[in-house]
Amino acid sequence: MTMYYSNRAREQDPHALPDVEVFYAKAGELRLEECGANAPGWYWWHCFPGCLPDSEPMGPYDTESDALADARDDGGALTDEDLAELDLAETVNKEFKL
């Protein structure tokens, strides 16, 4: 399982952690019939290192790159509103000159 940043701008922040995990699951391995996650393929979910997932698995995708692209496109990146709720918007915008 590989960890990624949903928002690539956060990769340079020494205090930020990756927040998306991309992984391959075999058919039936996830055992989550209610969310349709039974097919083999690449999946992603929101998750911080060393923690339980914060979302259901999303997928399956044909490649790891496809899963990661969806994670970054599917609201994975923090918006200014999200950062404001976390009281980080001004800090991040200043740090990354956004």
Is 0.75 surpassed by the pTM of this model?
A: no
Average pLDDT, the chain: 81
Q: Is the pLDDT of residue 92 over 90?
A: no
Domain ranges of the chain: 2-95
| SS3 state of residue 95 | helix
Place of tokens 């899963």: 67
Residues of 5-32 as b/e, b for ≥16 C-beta within 10 angstroms? bbbebbeeeeeeeebbbbbbbeeeebee
Kindly report, residue by residue over 34-80, the tens digit of the pLDDT.
555 678 999 999 999 999 999 889 989 999 999 999 999 865 555 56
Distance CA 43, CA 7 (A): 18
Contact 19, 71 (CB under 8 A): no
Contact 20, 3 (CB under 8 A): yes
For the record, the structure tokens of 91 come out as 């800090």
The predicted pLDDT at position 56 comes to: 87
The predicted pLDDT at position 44 comes to: 95
The predicted pLDDT at position 22 comes to: 96
Tell me the mean pLDDT in the region 16-38.
82
